[in-house]
Structure 1
């Protein structure tokens, strides 16, 4: 095709796939032809650099040097929060920087698109970027242009990118950056350190939370004066965030660079404790380990091929044989990778379908209780059905948003960002999302019908407690019931049914109660149930259908 361009032997791109552009560079979406991996290619035209002299060439070389050093450091420390460089290539007309492709755009795009980013999510974003700044500061590197446009998002992971202004010193003298994010020492001091990045990240977090630039003016001079004189205060009613986060932001946006908190100190703040145990973070770090393991394997194979090329004599039968062997090695690598991707996609689909079966199991229990003992389990029926309806809605939304699920969603789902990219290219995902929407609507209708029946029953038979009943059996399906309240209700009713089982002499009734108890126990901890950590869901369903209590018991995984 006419608009197809090649970069060396490994990379290609199409002119139409432009991701962004600047003064003397543009970024396009490309592909590694050897591995099929999607990459971002930063194209710097030499002709556009001529008027800037040698200084700009030195800065480009410095950017590449820093990116390569950070890639190596990220490998050692397992820090996935910096946009990774793969290669630097030069032709007669252009420089090419081959970078990791981030499929969800920039933080700037997200701020514009999303109505509001909640505090907890903003803290999670800040937590990731602070780890990037900590790695930079530990190696005397300053980014010097922290802003939402330079934070890239790949599969929900926030990565610091565009190191065009970066440098590596203990102290800096060149004053550059984007004015609303520049620290006071840019203007009132002869030198500064990497803490200018902390100031900028604090203001970036402010922008994420409140959709405003704190230091803004009619001119650059006006912005500069405000940065120097206007205190950073969060007393206004519009700044509705926790005191803990306010305190941290004030430590970051501190005009005294010596008193300003460092990235490492900020990460020790208890505000980030939940982030460290967040399944998303654990999945991110697992994926980073898997990614480096895979890259190391590819590097070893490619290194072997290079060594073979170096040892091959020119001409002759031996050279031809070794070239054929190299071709076979390359084809084998591609086949292994394709098989790895297909296995991963299959694992994802199996996990999602099993998770849906687990949620459906909750609905079936609600129906079972309604058909058999609704007079004593009215609230429990609503609790269970409401949780199931919201869970199916959340799963549908996450798939529509092309989110990455992990082992906490289901044990069969292995986290790998590249596999998820291929998974979401499959047309069957759209059908799955539609099916989930239909299931959610059926669950919602069932829940509303049950609510109306139970509210009517409560109004007629318990008028004094009707308000309490109404407050529990409401139609708000946007938020899960408090897990402790949910479990307390189920536990109480399980104890009640257990006592009934001990009293009755009728074996049929006793078996039905035992079946109900086993089922309620499974649904009691729905998070473990739906993730496959508690039981074999399909086998448990078979036990329910066949009324086989022993089969149901054998499915439970008791830790």
Structure 2
């Protein structure tokens, strides 16, 4: 929902945000009754919590001061204060409805023009002095007068942002913006709020007249020292009329007791002509019209209406919160479903990869069967060595799965794309438990084949080559899970490949030549069994299919080096 309502009269849309602070956002809104454009400050209570109770007191004080000014404006018109229309508090937010100033701030204008023509600068100053005089009559001090706190609406300059404002005779809290702070902030424990406002307005007037900030430095300390020690003077570069040249030093006067007041400024002859200026008379007339309409609208709204609006707003917020929670739960469920889908897909991928590793081991085991059927006399020891290496790879895979290890690209190249969090779910999957049982069955079958081959070779060696029996038994008695020493294994297979190549060159029978070629390529692949099983040496699935094709060239094409 992009459109929000505040009470019965106001509404705003989320895309019309004007600004954002630490705990508040300001939106451009509308009075639904009159159509007037307003500014709505939305203060989130949840963000206020970390600042403590003081910030909440400060907000309430600002609202209270603005509301008291609104009451005073009913009796004495003052178009030069940024108005507050309504403050509505709910359990979640505080809404402050303010007058919308459609032309930005005085700071925006200074950035564009650097300084204003003298007549325009005096007219702006005249409006702001009236604002200060009005504050003084209501015993209110602003305490943070600067260009960014002067707002412009249809050419009317309005003092706003009363966050530092107070309503008492003397103050001892030192706050404000350094280039506009009066000397008593730094050399006195107490100060008069209206006097420091006059000092700040004098410096602001200097700035819009001459395009410069008078007290400026590289640090706050340097600025404060200049404020205390540097005398305010106007040089030949400061061109202005005599009346203003006399006025500014009386405003920017270090001795606060000698500083001119807002009421005294308004009595100076130079401002008499502005009181009769058509621009000023038009501002006064529009202000009278505003209050006639505002009071009419306000009188039509009873206390019961206000309470009803507040309840409606709270109910709307409650429903909105429920809707937010529902949407959040739906989003969470979608994300959980997407995560589960991703995990399920990757579990299936892992199972496929492990089956590919099993097929790699199957290539080793099937080679032993092939050699047994075709070259058993020549490859007795090769069959035994290869069989033992195949069992070792099955054993390593089974042990890793039993330990619930995370398999990596060192185990198989395709594991590189698997997310780590998937492994937490992988070992809980029923299909995986069945897979591990199947691998255990494979391992037991190979172990039986190994024991059978060992017994055969043990008997054959003792009867034919008894002098080699101890050497064979030392190799055969190695732990079956340990495999054959790699150097011995590779030397044995290399000598066998050399022998088979020689036999191939002598053969004229095409069928035998085909078997020899097939054996040579197959033994070569299995020699590098670790690279084979990890998918680095061959395309395992294609190689398995090509074994049965009786085309050695197809087997060669499965090698990644080809």
Unpaired segments ≥5 residues, structure 1: 311-559
How far apart, in 2, do the equivalents of 1:76 and 1:100 lie? 19
Paired position in structure 2 for 1:190: 189
Alignment partner of 2:40: what SS? strand
Alignment partner of 1:125: what SS? helix
8 Å CA contact 2:114, 2:211 repeated in 1: no
Paired position in structure 2 for 1:211: 211
How far apart, in 2, do the equivalents of 1:9 and 1:136 lie? 31
Q: What pairs up with 1:166-177 in 2 under 5 angstroms?
A: 166-177=165-176
Alignment partner of 2:80: what SS? coil
Q: What pairs up with 1:74-473 in 2 under 5 angstroms?
A: 74-114=73-113, 116-193=115-192, 194-235=194-235, 237-303=236-302, 306=305
8 Å CA contact 2:7, 2:306 repeated in 1: no
Per the normalisation by structure 1, the TM-score is 0.53
How far apart, in 1, do the equivalents of 2:48 and 2:34 lie? 32
Q: Report the CA distance between 1:9 and its aligned residue.
A: 3.4
8 Å CA contact 2:23, 2:43 repeated in 1: yes
How many corresponding residue pairs? 308
Paired position in structure 2 for 1:555: none
Paired position in structure 1 for 2:45: 46
Alignment partner of 1:141: what SS? coil
Q: Report the CA distance between 1:213 and its aligned residue.
A: 1.0
Change (3 A) 1:58 1:20: same
Paired position in structure 2 for 1:376: none
Per the normalisation by structure 2, the TM-score is 0.53
Q: Deviations over 1:501-559 (max 9, x none)?
A: xxxxxxxxxxxxxxxxxxxxxxxxxxxxxxxxxxxxxxxxxxxxxxxxxxxxxxxxxxx
How far apart, in 2, do the equivalents of 1:307 and 1:48 lie? 26
Change (3 A) 1:252 1:164: same
How far apart, in 2, do the equivalents of 1:308 and 1:29 lie? 24
Q: Deviations over 1:78-131 (max 9, x none)?
A: 111101100111122221110011111111111112354111111111111111
How far apart, in 2, do the equivalents of 1:250 and 1:78 lie? 29
Paired position in structure 1 for 2:66: 67
Paired position in structure 2 for 1:493: none
Paired position in structure 1 for 2:547: none
Alignment partner of 1:165: what SS? coil
Alignment partner of 1:168: what SS? coil
Paired position in structure 1 for 2:7: 8
How far apart, in 2, do the equivalents of 1:87 and 1:35 lie? 14
Alpha-carbon RMSD: 2.0
How far apart, in 2, do the equivalents of 1:65 and 1:132 lie? 18
Q: Deviations over 1:223-248 (max 9, x none)?
A: 1111111111112x221111210111
How far apart, in 1, do the equivalents of 2:172 and 2:94 lie? 27
8 Å CA contact 2:232, 2:249 repeated in 1: yes
Q: Report the CA distance between 1:44 and its aligned residue.
A: 1.7
How far apart, in 1, do the equivalents of 2:95 and 2:308 lie? 25
Q: Report the CA distance between 1:305 and its aligned residue.
A: 8.9
Unpaired segments ≥5 residues, structure 2: 310-562
| Residue 58, structure 1, aligned to residue 57, structure 2 | yes
How far apart, in 2, do the equivalents of 1:81 and 1:206 lie? 19
Mean CA deviation greater in 102-111 or 12-21: 12-21
